[in-house]
Amino acid sequence: MDKELAIVEQSNRGVIGRFGNRMVERGRQLKGQACVLDARVRSVLEQPDEGAATAEYAVVLVAATGFAAVLVALLKSGAIKTLLEALVKKALKVV
């Protein structure tokens, strides 16, 4: 038996005794809730989710597609085309 509970039970007369009993009971409830919260936090931190969820996967695919479209547009431009042609010709001369 807790010291606090013993003191409150001995003085279980009047408003102060009832208030003390309620405070002790509320303290026990809070302690239990804190234990549950601690267990939840530990379980989340211990085993994080691996991979992307479906929505996250979709967002990644859309972003990758947009990036690919930008690259294709750049590669089709005249300046990049001539630069790549010059690079290939230079590489073929070495071989």
Same domain? 41 vs 14: yes
Mean per-residue pLDDT for 4-9?
Answer: 52
Cα gap 13→18, rounded to integer Å? 7
The token duo for 67 is 């990036």
Q: How many domains does the chain have?
A: 2
Closest C-alpha among 33, 27, 32 to residue 5 = 27
pTM confidence score:
0.35
Cα gap 20→44, rounded to integer Å? 36
Same domain? 41 vs 58: no
In the three-class reduction of DSSP (H, G, I as helix; E, B as strand; rest coil), residue 43 is classed as helix
Segment 17-72, tens digit of pLDDT: 677 778 888 888 888 888 888 888 887 777 666 665 778 888 999 999 999 999 88
Q: In this structure, what is the dihedral angle of CA atoms 43, 48, 50, 54, given to the nearest 10 degrees? A: 90
Same domain? 41 vs 71: no
